[in-house]
Amino acid sequence: MPGSTRLFVPAPLRPGAEIAPSPAQVHHLGAVLRLKPGARIAVFNGADGEWQARIAMLARGEGRLAVEEQRRPQEPEPDLWLAFALLKRDATDLVAEKATELGVSALFPVLTARTQASQVNLARLAAIAQGAAEQSERLSLPAIHPPRTLARLLAEWPPERRLVAAVERAGAPPIAAGTGGAPAGLLVGPEGGFTPAELDVLARHPFVTLAGLGPRILRAETAAIVGLALLSALASTA
């Protein structure tokens, strides 16, 4: 039986298939976890469910996994998006990690008037999301989109998908109001919040719902986690 070790592998999974893990995964299996050939782990690819695999070979930075049997079929996962104003690196990393653990299916870094950063290492975010997916036992990875301005995000947002914008001190109702169980997304602004002009723009879009996260002023990364948890709970009871 697979233990707690899980790896994402971008290859088809079927009985008898052989997979070459990445050099980083080989290092993790051999040098960090000290697993030996014959040990069994779990693998998933976001499409074929979770499978048991046996380590067939680990040597000189190379490895081979033998896929044996399926342990969990692929199942539908939450259709929840997160758009968030870019933060400093550690805070952005935390948002990507926790959003993945909470089941977010797409991440949209956003540039706003008060955004603290203008660039993001998408490969780094993808690696963080992959590690979070492996640890949290989800069966897929979130899509990670390049940064875009708030104006572009709103222009390209599917109008049938509700966008819940977490706002501070705007007299907005609780996040549970008016969202229902339909596909949704959460928008979280930067430290310091959205500007008055940005709030006016958000209010003019019919698919946007302005919502509050409680009586306290939260850090942006905290707001993302709290908002996602509330929306996830709402969707599960709809």
Residues 120 and 29 in one domain: no
Same domain, 65 and 91: no
> 86 with 58, same domain?
no
Please tell me the predicted confidence (pLDDT) of residue 169.
63
| Domains of the chain: total | 2
Asked whether residue 133 falls in the same domain as residue 86, the answer is yes
Among 72, 99, 128, the domain boundary falls at: 72
Give the structural domain span for 199. Answer: 80-237
Q: Which residues contact 51 (CB under 8 A, 6 or more apart)?
A: 13, 42, 43, 44, 67, 68, 69, 70, 71
Q: What is the pTM of this model?
A: 0.90
CATH code of the domain in which 44 resides = 2.40.240.20
| pLDDT reading at 4 higher than 80 | no
Residue 62: inside a domain, yes or no? Answer: yes
Do 112 and 187 lie in a common domain?
yes
Distance of alpha carbon 188 from its chain centroid, rounded? 14
H-only helix segments in 22-121: 23-27, 89-101
Residues 195-224 pLDDT 10s: 999 999 999 999 999 998 877 888 999 999
Residue 1, domain member (yes or no): no
Calpha distance 40→66 (Å, rounded): 9
Indicate the pLDDT class of residue 121, thresholds 50, 70 and 90: very high
Q: Among 43-57, 110-124, 130-144, where is mean pLDDT lowest? A: 110-124
Confidence at 178, pLDDT banded by 50, 70, 90: very low
Assign 61 a pLDDT band (cuts: 50, 70, 90). confident
Give yes or no: residues 102 and 204 share one domain. yes
* pLDDT given for residue 78 in this prediction: 85
